[in-house]
Amino acid sequence: MTRALIAGAIAFAAAFAAERLFTSLTPDIARYNQMREMSGQEPLLKEVVSFVKSAFGSSGASDVVGDLTNDAVRYARMKGM
């Protein structure tokens, strides 16, 4: 029971912090989107979503995992030298 209470308190604190961060960033993001609109670019959220789709699409996720694995192996080899 104590573990569940602690986990609930941590989850509540994380949700509260995320909400406060989102609330404080909302005006800045709105201004940034206005500047992007003036220069003919898409809104920030739309660009982030398209980036995530392209990075973690059907073959993108396997490419990212493969690249991370190759980097880890290369780092281990360099560390062993």
Rg of the Cα atoms in the chain: 20
For residue 12, name the pLDDT band (cuts at 50, 70, 90): very high
Domain that holds residue 79: 44-81
Retrieve residue 77's tokens.
């080899």
Q: Are residues 48 and 37 in the same domain?
A: no
DSSP category for residue 41: P
Domain match, 59 and 32 both: no
Give me the number of domains the chain comprises.
2
The pTM score is 0.48
Tens of pLDDT along 23-74?
Answer: 998 888 888 888 888 888 888 888 888 877 777 765 656 666 677 787 777 7
CB 31 within 8 A of CB 43: no
**What does each C-alpha distance from 49 to 7, 36, 43 come to in angstroms?**
30, 16, 10
Q: How far is CA 48 from CA 43, 45, 56, in A?
A: 9, 5, 12
Regarding whether 3 and 34 lie in a shared domain, the answer is yes
- What is the rounded distance in angstroms from the CA atom of residue 37 to the CA atom of residue 47? 12
